[in-house]
Amino acid sequence: MTSTVVASCSRSCFINADPIVHVRRELPKSKRRIRLALETNELLSDPVDAIEVFYHIKNINDPEHPYSLEQLDIVSVENIRVHSEAQFIQVYFTPTVPHCSMATLIGLAIRRKLQESLAGRFKTEVLVFPGSHSSESAVNKQLNDKERVAAALENTNLLEKVNLCLRGNLVL
C-alpha cells in the first residue's frame, strides 16, 4: 500500500466506525489481459495467478462501508495462494476488527464472486487471516461447509445482502 487516509464516519452503529481506508491499486500494465477479461466477461485461457484472483474480488463492497475490500485492506494479493497443479485457491481475508460480525458475510461474498468468475474451474477455500478474528475457526468452518454455503445462498435475504456487496463499482 502506498498511502493511507483515515475516513471519518458519523454513524456509531458501525461495528468498526472508523476503518482505515487505503488507495486503490493501479492495475499493472502486464496484467492488461485481466482487465480485458473482466470487461468482456470472458474466461482467461492462461493459468490463473494470485493477481487475477485479486482483481476478481478487490471491488467487492464492504457490507457496511462505501468502500471496497481492497480499500479496507481486507483482501490483498499477498494473502491469496493459488495451487494451480491442484486447481485449488485459498483466499485469506482480514476483517477490519477482530470481533467483526460481518466476517461470514464478507467471506460468503468472496465465495460467490469466485464461483461466478472462475466458473467452477477451481476449488476455493475462503479463510480469515490467521489471528485476525476472535472466532476464526468457527468462521472458517462455516465458510467451507459446502452444504451450509449452498443453503445460505438459497436464503433470499442473505443472497440480497451478498449481491449488494457484489454490485460494487467495477473500477480498475
Partner 1 sequence: RVWHCAWDPTGKTLATCSSDKTCRIWAKSAAAGNTWVTVAELEGVHSRTVRQAAWSPCGRLLATASFDASTAVWAQSGSGGTTGEWECVAVVEGHENEVKSCAWSPSGSLLATCGRDKSVWIWEVQPGHDFECVAVLNGHTQDVKQVAWHPAEDALVSVSYDDSIKVWTEDPGGDDWSCAQTLTKEEGGHASTVWCASFEPEPSRHVRGPGGTDSRRLATCSDDRTIAIWRVDDSRGLRLEIDAKFPCGHDRPALSVSWGKCGLIAEGGGDDSVRLFAPPRDAGRGGAGDEVNCVAWHPTDPRCLATASDDGTVRIWSV
Site for partner 1 contains 31 (CB under 8 A) = no
**Order of strands across the sheet that contains 123-128:** 80-83, 88-93, 123-128
Q: Is 81 a binder of partner 1 (CB under 8 A)? A: no
* 32, 33, 99, 141: residue in contact with partner 1 (rule CB under 8 A): 141
For 2, the grid coordinates are 502506498
Site stretch for partner 1 (CB under 8 A), options 13-21, 97-105, 145-153, 161-169: 145-153
Task: Identify which range of 59-67, 74-82, 106-114, 147-155 contacts partner 1 by CB under 8 A.
Answer: 147-155
Rg (C-alpha) for the chain, rounded Å, is 16
The count of C-alpha atoms lying within 13 angstroms of the C-alpha of 74, restricted to the half-sphere facing its C-beta, is 32
Residue 29 lies near partner 1 (rule: CB under 8 A) = no
Contacts for 25 with CB less than 8 Å, ≥ 6 apart: 58, 70
Binding site for partner 1 (CB under 8 A): 120, 123, 141, 145-148, 150-151, 154
